Amino acid sequence: MEAKGGREPLRNLKMKFRRIELDISQTELARRVGVTRQTIGLIEAGEFNPSIKLCVSICRALGVTLNDIFWEEEEHEAGEK
């Protein structure tokens, strides 16, 4: 699902920082997960909501848990509503 509407998409900065921390490019992460670089870019930009299956694959590739990069803080969730 692509994020639509006038609302600013919520960027997944935690995922981006973790990728940079591991010194992995979007292309490399995409290769490890088995998706295209554009898909990784759109997830990081908050313009594509991945399935739970893809989230798990990304977490495995980045060596983190779902909570670490896909859990939104309370104030973040409130901002979305």
Partner 1 sequence: MKRVKSNLDERQEQLMLKIEHRACWLVFWGLLAAIVIQIVVSDGFDYRYIVGEWIVFLAQCVYICFACIKNGVWDRKLKPNAKTNLIGSLIAAVAVGAILFVRTWLKYPDKLRGAVSTGLISAAVVFVLCFATMSLMAYLFRRKQRRMEQEPEEENETE
Q: Which residues bind partner 1 (CB under 8 A)?
A: 1-2, 34-36, 38-39, 42, 48, 50-51, 53-54
Cβ at position 74, least distance to partner 1 in Å: 28
Cβ at position 40, least distance to partner 1 in Å: 10
Residue closer to partner 1, measured from CB, 40 or 69: 40
Paired tokens of 50: 């991945």
Q: List Cβ neighbours of 7 (8 Å cut-off, separation of 6 or more).
A: 80
Q: What angle do CA 37, 58, 54 make, to 5 degrees?
A: 85
